[in-house]
Structures are given as C-alpha cells and as structure tokens.
Amino acid sequence: MTSRNLENLVKTGNLQAEPFDLNEFNSLVRSADARLADARNTELSIESRFDLAYNAAHALSLAALRRLGYRSKNRYTVFQCIPHTLGIGPEIWRVLALCHERRNRAEYEGHIDFDEQLVNECLAAAEALSAAIHELDDAGKP
C-alpha cells in the first residue's frame, strides 16, 4: 500500500526513483540532529530557531524518503510522503507544510511573522521525525 502510493507519485513525476545511499542518509540525519539541537536553544532569535527546526524537519523527511529509494526536489512533496515513509500521522506533515508555506512567504513575499507557537510545533514535529528515524536505525538499514 505504502510503496504503491510512492510509486504513484513517481508516475506523476512528483518523485524520482534513486538508489539508496547510506552516506547520504547518515549525513542528512547527522546534520538534522545538529540543527535540531541548535533549534532548542532559546537564546537564539525566533527566526533562527524556525529556520533550524524547519530545515532539520526537511532533512529528516528527505532521509526517510531516500531510505526507500526515492527523492524529490519539491519540499512540499517530501513532507507529504511522511505518512508513507515513517508511518507518522497526518498532523505532522500538515504542520510542516504550513511551516513551508510560512517560510516561502517570509523568503519571497516579505511576510515575516513567526509566532512562538508555530516554532514550537515545528520543533516538536522535527523531534517526532528524529525519534522515528532513530528507531529505524536500531531496526537495521534497508
């Protein structure tokens, strides 16, 4: 079921199939965990913490997708695949999709407004992804 959903996204051109690469996977997870640790630092500005948490979440979501042999350059698609790659409920990818939208508005349209609540929920989402990925690690790589 899961792989069929991902295969359909390949057919529609939203995902590309690409063989798994352990080095890439490990560096994505390592870099995400480093950013996640910094995102928890409340000494930093809210803008920096948002960027760090959001990018950590993206790296972890991409790692999960790469683990199954897929890639996408579209961040929205990468988040959308989370229920299929990590089996995590829809609220996580929806919060991250909203963060993606906010980030685009800030970067490209000048709507700069990060509220603390969104930063905290983005961080919580990234932490949930990290926990799920590290559980996979213990269960062995594909």
Residues ≥6 apart with Cβ < 8 Å to 94: none
Please report, to the nearest 10 degrees, the dihedral formed by the alpha carbons of residues 100, 102, 105, 108 taken in order. Answer: -50
In this structure, how many other beta carbons lie within 10 angstroms of the beta carbon of residue 18? 13
**Among 7, 91, 107, 135, which residue interacts with other proteins (rule: CB under 8 A)?**
91
Q: Does 118 help bind other proteins (rule: CB under 8 A)?
A: yes
SS3 label, residue 72: coil
Token output for 95: 């919060």
Query: Quick one: 71 or 94, whose CB is closer to other proteins?
Result: 94
CB of 75 to other proteins, least distance (A): 15
**Among 7, 107, 115, 135, which residue interacts with other proteins (rule: CB under 8 A)?**
115
What is the contact surface with other proteins in residues (CB under 8 A)?
90-92, 94-95, 97-98, 101, 111-113, 115-118, 121
